[in-house]
Amino acid sequence: MTTPLVSEFDGCGAGAQEEQLVRPAFLLVYLLLGIAFGVVLTRSEVLSWFRIQEMFRFQSFRMYGIIGSAVVTAAISVALLKRLGLKSASGESISISRRPLGAGIRYAAGGTIFGLGWALTGACPGPLFALVGDGVSVMIVAVFSALAGTWVYGWLRPRLPH
Amino acid sequence: MTVLLSGEWPWYVAGPLIGLFVPALLITGNKVFGISGNLSHLCAALAPGKLEFFRYDWRKAGLWNLVFLAGVLIGGFIAFHAWPAQEIAISPQTTAALTRLGIHDFHSVAPRELFTWHALLTLRGFVSVVVGGFLVGFGTAYAAGCTSGHAISGLANFELPSLIAVLGFFAGGLAATYFILPFVLGGL
ipTM of the complex: 0.94
Instruction: Give the number of other CB atoms < 10 A from CB of residue B69.
Output: 27
**Cβ pair B14:A60 closer than 8 A:** no
Instruction: For residues A96 and B26, give the distance between their C-alpha atoms in angstroms, rounded to a whole number.
Output: 9
Q: What are the residues whose beta carbons fall under 8 Å from the beta carbon of B41, sequence distance 6 or more?
A: A11, B58, B61, B62, B63, B65, B66
Nearest-neighbour CA in chain B from A10: distance (Å): 7
Q: Which of A7, A73, A128 sits opposite B20 (nearest CB)?
A: A73
pLDDT score of B2 more than 70: no
pLDDT score of A7 more than 90: no
Interface of A with B in 12-41 (CB under 8 A): 12-22, 26-27, 29-41
Q: Is A94 left (phi over 0), alpha (psi -120 to 50) or beta?
A: beta
Per-residue pLDDT of B58-98, as tens digits, reads 999 999 999 999 999 999 999 999 988 778 999 999 999 99
Per-residue pLDDT of A81-107, as tens digits, reads 989 888 888 888 888 888 899 899 999
Per-residue pLDDT of B5-51, as tens digits, reads 667 789 999 999 999 999 999 999 999 999 999 999 999 999 999 99
Q: What pLDDT is stored for residue B186 in this prediction?
A: 75
pLDDT score of A9 more than 50: no
